[in-house]
Structure 1
């Protein structure tokens, strides 16, 4: 099922909704995190279509999400430049996802400091062979293209890098596409796991560095880097760059490491 089909039931009106395409976007027993975050973002945008550009977000993955949900969005504060919106997904009568979106109008800059260029530039996505996604969830092989962006594999430095893009590259605006793609990669801590076991995103905090990001042919370079892993959790730094090496997202995520 396409991403368009996934978002079709999200009208911007609060209340029950049936995500008929949810089964095609399942990751384990819940909706894939990027897809559920996109549903919450789309709810906010469709409820309040005149919002300024997105600048930041905080997303809590609270409980599993199925096809029968209740959606809600509320403006928490609307200032002269910044509007803060909360959107939620409830499932089976319980809170399943809560998201806090910060939208901000552009103003004349009083500080300018470009993000650093990506270290150890891997080369263009065309320089790498496509990765097989047959062993992953069905939504990956149906909706994503992915290529390696690092030479190393297996155990080692807790960093995972991949080039990725959507198959339907005209289905979403650039910001929505990055929200859907931003939670795609496994945590960098995967490369330090002593044995195989399930993993689960708990939260995701992101800053959008470019309000209207662009890239070539839909390709984005993603990286997950474990800053600390122990006690069954990993603190992950999530980053995304375009094909010119310009950083577009800076984020943090807490991930549960089971097994």
Structure 2
């Protein structure tokens, strides 16, 4: 049953539906195989109410397992996801000097912008706190290709999980929206998120997490963006890539 209260335009919040698909995929995977990458295709708007969750193991090996999950409503696939799990193995290649966060430090919180309390804000944003310190607010007409700041759950105090991190990352509007001068619809077409390491065990969903997105290319109603996400200690925890549709 898909829940109420998490609306995002005509559909449920994509971070929530992705987290539900992850919970289905996670069942039965070896503890030695960590989630390395997941790709979500938002085929149609997921609605509150009954849904079928379909899970299929595409391949299960000693090192890598690939699992497909679909959410089906009214006999139609509305979300399709591919999850890739992988076990650590010896390698001569090791490059771990990850990009440093460009989000301003704690001392700059006073200058960060908050999303306005407005009926234009999607329903799900009530569950999150945001501080925008890179680029501009949505529909502010900025010319910056960068967008980001900090995000956290308002009341969720549990340790961070893949599911809650998916919610935090997707809670950010598409990086194209600050370039627009007036409200216009936009949505994610595909979303790939990669996890360089298992998530830290010393961080909570209510901690501040750093987010920095960059527009790689945008034209003809579509945008291609990538983002980095760091924990409160400055460790890179995820790399997010999106194809976005925008109608303005």
When normalised by structure 2's length, the TM-score is 0.86
Q: Does 1:245 align with 2:234?
A: yes
Equivalent residue, structure 1, for 2:60: 78
In the alignment, the residues of structure 2 paired with residue 219 and residue 125 of structure 1 have an alpha-carbon distance, to the nearest angstrom, of 14
Name structure 2 gaps, 5 residues minimum.
none
Shift of residue 108, structure 1, vs aligned partner: 3.0
Q: Does 1:27 align with 2:8?
A: yes
When normalised by structure 1's length, the TM-score is 0.83
Equivalent residue, structure 1, for 2:46: 65
Distance 1:176 1:126, change over 3 A: farther
In the alignment, the residues of structure 1 paired with residue 4 and residue 16 of structure 2 have an alpha-carbon distance, to the nearest angstrom, of 12
Q: Is the contact made by 2:223 and 2:246 (CA closer than 8 Å) also made in structure 1? A: yes
Name structure 1 gaps, 5 residues minimum.
1-17
1:139 aligns with one of 93, 109, 124: 124
Superposed counterparts of 1:1-259, under 5 Å: 18-19=1-2, 22-46=3-27, 48=28, 50=30, 52-66=33-47, 67-118=49-100, 120-124=102-106, 127-128=109-110, 131-132=114-115, 134-135=117-118, 136-141=121-126, 143-150=127-134, 154=140, 155-171=142-158, 173-193=160-180, 195-213=182-200, 214-215=202-203, 218-259=207-248
Shift of residue 33, structure 1, vs aligned partner: 0.8
Q: Is the contact made by 2:103 and 2:212 (CA closer than 8 Å) also made in structure 1? A: no
Shift of residue 125, structure 1, vs aligned partner: 7.9
Deviations 1:227-258 (A, max 9, x none): 11110010111221112322211121100011
**C-alpha root-mean-square deviation of aligned residues, in Å?**
2.3
